[in-house]
Copies of this chain bind each other. A is one copy, B any other.
Amino acid sequence: MRLRNVPHAKRIIARHPDKIVSLAGDEDIVLNDRFPEEKPLEMEIGTGKGRFIHTLAKANPSCNHLAVEKFDNVIIRALERVVEDPLLNLLLVRADAENLKNFLRPRSVKRIYLNFSDPWPKKRHEKRRLTHPDFLAMYKEILKPGGRIEFKTDNRKFFEYSLKTMNRAGMRFLFLSLDLHSEERLDNIMTEFEERYGKDGPIYIITASFEEDHNEENVQGTA
């Protein structure tokens, strides 16, 4: 089933209420409750065409997954994938990231993935960067104790910026690489973007948490 060239994305979205929710911002919806089974919740913000989160959800049936994307015409590409290969533990969400906390129970998210988010390089767009201090403050509210943010980018300036904002927000760095593809990590799920552009330069990654984490299993790269 190909949805690609359908002009009325909104109509397509409305046709699949079990797979995708579109949120203007003021709805009275709790996303945590929209899965058939209650499980720990992971989410990707800026999910694009959805390959990463679909692969993750498939590999990780013990968690529920939210795939958040702002644009109708992008998220229908992810919807296409989900319609072809439905997963009960994956829900697509068409929403602005800044509204997310209206739809999530506080301290309910285990992991937030930010993959190749728009770097918004101009200073005047700084507030739109998904690692801006205001976004980090929101993530802090929705993350569980010990919950983590995993941030991947190929944009050096954006990574430098994010190391600083995460450090200053009091986050604890757990795993960090300035060249992810040189690491022996078998658990890396590539996004479409990463596969296409990952050869042009290094991919930067950081996993960080707001809490002290005494389970050091994921503290790699310290040797």
Ordered nearest first, which 6 A-B pairs have the shortest CB separation? Answer: A123-B223, A167-B173, A164-B173, A160-B176, A156-B178, A160-B221
Can you sample 21 A-B contacts with CB below 8 Å?
A123-B223, A126-B222, A126-B223, A156-B178, A156-B179, A157-B221, A159-B178, A160-B176, A160-B177, A160-B178, A160-B221, A161-B221, A163-B163, A163-B173, A164-B176, A164-B221, A164-B222, A167-B172, A168-B173, A178-B178, A178-B204
Complex CA distance for A219 and B204, rounded to whole angstroms:
21
Residues of B within 8 A of A157 (CB): 221
Known A163-B163, A164-B222, A167-B173; further 14 A-B contacts with Cβ < 8 A: A126-B222, A126-B223, A156-B178, A156-B179, A159-B178, A160-B177, A161-B221, A163-B173, A164-B173, A164-B221, A167-B171, A167-B172, A168-B172, A178-B204
Residues of B within 8 A of A126 (CB): 222-223
Residues facing B in A147-162 (CB within 8 A) are 156-157, 159-161
Smallest distance from the beta carbon of A175 to chain B beta carbons, Å?
9
Residues facing B in A164-194 (CB within 8 A) are 164, 167-168, 171-173, 176-179
Smallest distance from the beta carbon of A169 to chain B beta carbons, Å?
11
Minimum CB distance partner of A161 in chain B: B222
Residues of B within 8 A of A219 (CB): 164
Minimum CB distance partner of A176 in chain B: B160
Residues of B within 8 A of A222 (CB): 126, 161, 164
Residues of B within 8 A of A123 (CB): 223
Smallest distance from the beta carbon of A154 to chain B beta carbons, Å?
12
Minimum CB distance partner of A124 in chain B: B223
Residues of B within 8 A of A179 (CB): 156
Q: Chain A, 208-223, contact with B by CB distance < 8 Å: what is the 0/1 string?
A: 0000000000010111
Chain B CB count within 10 A is highest, among A156, A160, A172, A178, for A160
